[in-house]
Amino acid sequence: MTTDEKKPDDERSVPDTSRRRMIVSGSAAAAGILFAGIAQAQQLSEAPQTMDGLPVPMPPANKTAGPIVAGRDSKLQGRVAVVTGAARGIGRAIAVEFAANGADVIAIDIAGPVSTASNAVPATPQELEETVSLVKAYGRRSEGIRADIRDIHALRAAADRIEQRYGKIDIVVANAGIQYWKPLLDLQDAEWSDVIDNNLNGTAKTIRAFAPKMVTRNYGRIIVVSSMQGRHGTRNAAAYAASKWGIFGLMKSAALELGRYNITVNAVVPGLVATALTLYDTRLTESIAETGYHKPNGPLTPQEAWDRRAATMPLGVGWVQPEDISPAAVYLASDAAAMITGSEIEVTGGDSAKSL
């Protein structure tokens, strides 16, 4: 099978080398070739540069981000994306932003209670349908599937159905998650297990269910959602922090295994984001303690919480919005990110400047 045969039908046809050639030579002549017509790029790839009289290898088209094209970091036309935890919050923002950039989006969510070891109010089927409507408003195909990411059979059935209906699966975002606040020594076994099972095992099951569809097509973009709480310890949320640290290990291991199939695996790492996961008293109070302030004795108003956090954040915000996170996912899903895998993008308003 040739490299081109392995590419999905709608892959860009413009090969890769004109930008590299321009960078290698640094010459105005090379720039002229680029602007003169990208249609000639294929021909250029057959005339490699030399170094010490020896030809310099050039990557095949599916092993590079290719030539510079305006807006290529946000082009998702013709892509089919699956987003878990898409009924609301960060998952919804990613689903809608994918659609805004041209992708069809299948929104998966349990849309109901997940575990007693979850502080957030459960999402609803109506919220899932609202995500679907928002995607369709961009003229894209969409549907909502109620499924639990802890159930690999349900995920595999969803993968089969999506592939049958949409022809392929290009992008998967494993975003669904829960959070639970309780001191480590007070945690029940089931509470610890539920958080790990949902966030870490569920993310692994999402990859294991959908990646085989990408392997057969030799193309894929997998994006997992970790957290800055997977970058450092989190007082009173050890299971959550452990699950999000685990996601980094999972992501990097998957990147090692799946790279040979042209599948990239990366993490988006949000800081504190205004969603149902966070906007309640315990979470905001804990977040103040994370900034180094003494933990407040009583509840804070949202404005007090914002002000205290904003004072410690490089960009002067108390927290960021779901729509601040989704552009990072679009970029990682685009062809422009072809050579990024095993990597992380932190979107925090500046929290990440304080962590390794």
Buried b (16+ CB within 10 A) or exposed e, 248-271: bebbbebbeebeebbbbbbbbbbb
Q: How far apart are CA 92 and CA 288, in angstroms?
A: 26
Residues that bind ligand NAD (CB under 6 A): 84-85, 87-91, 109-111, 114, 120, 123, 148-150, 175-179, 198, 202, 225, 227, 270, 272-273, 275-278
Q: Could you report how far apart the first and last alpha carbons of the chain are, in Å?
A: 43
Asked whether the beta carbons of 275 and 90 are under 8 A apart, the reply is yes
How far is Cα 125 from Cα 112, in angstroms, rounded to an integer? 7
CB of 67 to ligand NAD, least distance (A): 34
CA-wise closest residue to 245 among 264, 263, 232, 260 = 232
Q: In angstroms, what is the minimal distance from the CB of 173 to ligand NAD?
A: 10
Angle between helices 17-25 and 28-36 (to 10 degrees): 160
Distances (CA, A) of 184 to 180, 188, 199, 241, 306: 11, 9, 17, 11, 27
CA angle 143–148–151, rounded 5-degree value: 120
Q: How far apart are CA 297 and CA 47, in angstroms?
A: 70
By annotation, the residues acting in catalysis are 240
With respect to ligand NAD, which residue has the nearer C-beta, 120 or 159? Answer: 120
Name which of 30 and 108 has its Cβ closer to ligand NAD: 108
Q: How far is the CB of 277 from ligand NAD (least distance, A)?
A: 3
Residue closer to ligand NAD by CB (options 19, 244) is: 244
The least CB distance from residue 43 to ligand NAD, in Å, is 46
* Rounded-to-integer distance, Cα 85 and Cα 189, Å: 25
Q: If you write DSSP's letter for every residue of 237-250 in order, what string do you get?
A: -HHHHHHHHHHHHH
Nearer to ligand NAD, 49 or 352 (CB): 352
Shortest distance in whole angstroms from residue 58 CB to ligand NAD = 39
Which residue's CB is nearer to ligand NAD, number 142 or number 278?
278
CB of 244 to ligand NAD, least distance (A): 7
User: Please, which residue, 33 or 225, has the CB nearer to ligand NAD?
Assistant: 225
Could you tell me which residues come within 8 angstroms of residue 303 by beta carbon, excluding any fewer than 6 positions away? none
- Rounded Cα distance between 32 and 18, Å, is 10
The HSE-up count of residue 53 (CA atoms within 13 Å, CB side) is 0
The minimum distance between CB 273 and ligand NAD, in angstroms, equals 4
Comparing CB distances to ligand NAD, the nearer of 65 and 254 is 254
Distance (Å, whole) CA 66 – CA 72: 10
